[in-house]
Amino acid sequence: MAKSMTKSAIISHLAAKTALTKKQVGGVLEHLATLAVKEAKNGFQIPDLGKLVLRNRAARMGRNPQTGEPIKIPAKRVVKFRVSKALKDAVLGKK
């Protein structure tokens, strides 16, 4: 299994493909991450990549893996990333 790209590798690659410096690309990525955090509650979409959405998880019963004892897992809100159809088709191929 190949290793995933690190943040510095992504910055280097994008800087080589554009007319921007590594520092500028790093700033763009930081601002994109900040904007995603700020707008996640409204749904944050990156075209052709996917979108961040908030979902409510219902309370449920689970098990302690060490003892097998049933435990109640409370309801909570979670952030999910939904991959776009264009990206799925590009990575997996069309069916």
Q: Residue 94's pLDDT band (boundaries 50, 70, 90)?
A: confident
pTM recorded for the entire structure: 0.75
Burial of 15 per CB tally in 10 Å (0-12, 13-18, 19+): middle
Q: What is the pLDDT of residue 1?
A: 64
Q: What average pLDDT does the segment 58-64 reach?
A: 96
CATH code of the region 43-95: 4.10.520.10
pLDDT at 95 over 80: no
pLDDT at 31 over 80: yes
* Structure-model confidence comparison of residues 94 and 46, the more confident one: 46
Exposure pattern of 28-64 as b/e (b: 16+ CB <10 Å)? Answer: eeeeeeeebeeeeeeebeeeeebbbbeeeeeeeeeee
Helix (H, G, I), strand (E, B) or coil at 27: helix
